[in-house]
Structure 1
Amino acid sequence: MDTANLPPLAASLLPRGGSLHRFANPGRFLRLSGRVLPWLTAAALAVLAVGLPWALIFSPPDWQQGETVRLLYIHVPMAWLAMGGYVGLAIGSVLALVWRHPLADLACRELSPVGAAATALCLATGSLWGKPMWGTWWVWDARLTSVLVLFFLWLGHAALVRAFDDTERGARMGAILALIGAVNLPVVKFSVDWWNTLHQPASVTRINAPGLHVDILYPLLVCGLGFTLAFAALVLARTRAAVMERRIRALQLAAARRAEAG
């Protein structure tokens, strides 16, 4: 097939040989993801089927917070995914800008709506949790404000990559925004240490003495694993669908141009 007249991104999504495309070939990605995705989805459902009932029904209430502590099992994994997902977005943006990896562009494009949803859930559950604990739905606390900035960065990336008719230009602009926004991640992580905030400091990541009892810590970790697997499965499924859609469009464009030439 003659790909000389195709747009660069469309041409890159057609099957090609050579070592340069060994790890960026969409056909290879579709075959691999087709084998991985069912297992990843099944693992996510199985872990959540254990973790959510354990956390929301069978785990004990906190001695101080009572039943409101159950928001922890959603809020904390969503916070992890909001930050961890953005690290993935920044890495994918580097791959897209430096190595012009076409799958990195697509993965970042499909990652940002999922990351925005996780961050929105983090903010919503935090607000619900803050009302009985702090007596207010929202304060301009350093941690809350930096997570809100992170949410806007997710939304900005999702909008920017879709704002241009030239998909490659949109991908470049989105990648630049993602890398600039990565400076907010240390602020989110260390805000409770750098400033005097209402938000409690880290409880799970203290290796010497976690601040949570094991009856709460273990179901939280299981929920965190389950939500992480579900997050990865959703992003993989969205990226797989985007690759197939782009390949279909590229093939249609090539067929139309052959018909015009014939």
Structure 2
Amino acid sequence: MNDLAAPSGLAALANPSKFLALAARLLPWLSAATVILLVSGLYAAFFIAPPDYQQGETVRVMFIHVPSAWLSLAIYTMMAIAALGTLVWRHPLADVTIKAAAPLGAVFALICLVTGSLWGRPMWGTWWVWDARLTSMFVLFLMYAGIIALAQAIEEPTRAGKAVAILVLVGFVNIPIVKFSVDWWNTLHQGASVFRAGGPTLDPSILWPLLLMALALSCLFAVMQLLAMKAEIARRRARTLAILAASRPASRATIGR
């Protein structure tokens, strides 16, 4: 038995047909949950959560900015795990996962940067500063862009998957830098206020809408990820069929001789 075999739960989904069947069952439920959570989260964020005593109404940017930041880090971490699946376990869907997730991670990272600028302008008096948190998040966005470009530059899926997996793992060193930059350096960003040893420091009237929006955007990502993976599997199947179709005339010609 291969000591590097993928865990049984992942191996069960190695067959693309089984994965597609599972995705077909999950998508309707995830889509419904996404709509309900998004409507509830946005209502809570903009109509129930009170304005901050210092920041006023501008604090509502947080309900988009912070979950987008969390997701951009979580998506890259998922891609790093999938990269191990490509290089170590040779899981057939690992590189599909990375290729589908990279554009979505890039979008969430961009949303984080844009909303951060919109939030920072009235608070800091400037749209952008090159502090550790902002710079490392911008590097994360560039990593996403580089992964997308590399995946598009290599046409053959197996070679592309291995090259992209290596780049993902190299870039993962930036994830702890983004996370702990406010602890390691003096930045304009405040320290962790939700996931911290002493418990959240946010008032419940702010915390619960924030967590609700994080859950809503996570479900949205899950829906888009499954749809993107289905599209990528279909594209690869079409490519394989086209290659087989192109090779048949040559085979027949050889037999005719």
The aligned counterpart of 1:27 is 17
The aligned counterpart of 1:128 is 118
Whole-Å Cα distance in 2 between the matches of residues 139 and 55 of structure 1? 27
The aligned counterpart of 2:133 is 143
1:145-175 per-residue CA deviation (whole Å, 9 max, x = no partner) reads 1101111011111111111132322221111
Q: Does 1:76 align with 2:77?
A: no
Residue of structure 2 aligned with 1:61, choices 40, 51, 54: 51
Whole-Å Cα distance in 2 between the matches of residues 83 and 148 of structure 1? 12
The aligned counterpart of 2:149 is 159
Whole-Å Cα distance in 1 between the matches of residues 17 and 242 of structure 2? 17
Give the alignment of 1:45-56 within 5 angstroms: 45-56=35-46
Whole-Å Cα distance in 2 between the matches of residues 21 and 89 of structure 1? 17
Q: TM (normalized to structure 2)?
A: 0.90
Q: Does 1:104 align with 2:122?
A: no
Describe the shift of the 1:62–1:21 C-alpha distance in structure 2 as closer, same or farther (beyond 3 A). closer
CA RMSD of aligned residues (A): 1.6
Q: Does 1:192 align with 2:158?
A: no
The number of aligned residues is: 243
1:35-82 per-residue CA deviation (whole Å, 9 max, x = no partner) reads 111111111111111011110223210111000000000000000001
The AA in structure 2 aligned to 1:32 is L
The AA in structure 1 aligned to 2:55 is Q
1:211-235 per-residue CA deviation (whole Å, 9 max, x = no partner) reads 2111111100000000001011101
Q: 5+ unaligned residues in a row in structure 2: which ranges?
A: 1-9, 253-257
Q: TM (normalized to structure 1)?
A: 0.88
The percentage of counterpart residues that share the same residue type is 51
Which aligned segments of 4 or more residues in structure 1 are displaced greater than 4 angstroms? none
Give, in angstroms, the shift of residue 22 of structure 1: 4.3
Matched position secondary structure for 2:223: helix
Residue of structure 2 aligned with 1:171, choices 161, 169, 177: 161
Residue of structure 2 aligned with 1:95, choices 85, 99, 115: 85
The aligned counterpart of 2:221 is 231
The AA in structure 1 aligned to 2:184 is W
Q: Does 1:41 align with 2:31?
A: yes
Matched position secondary structure for 2:88: helix
The aligned counterpart of 1:3 is none
Give, in angstroms, the shift of residue 256 of structure 1: 4.2
Q: Does 1:244 align with 2:234?
A: yes
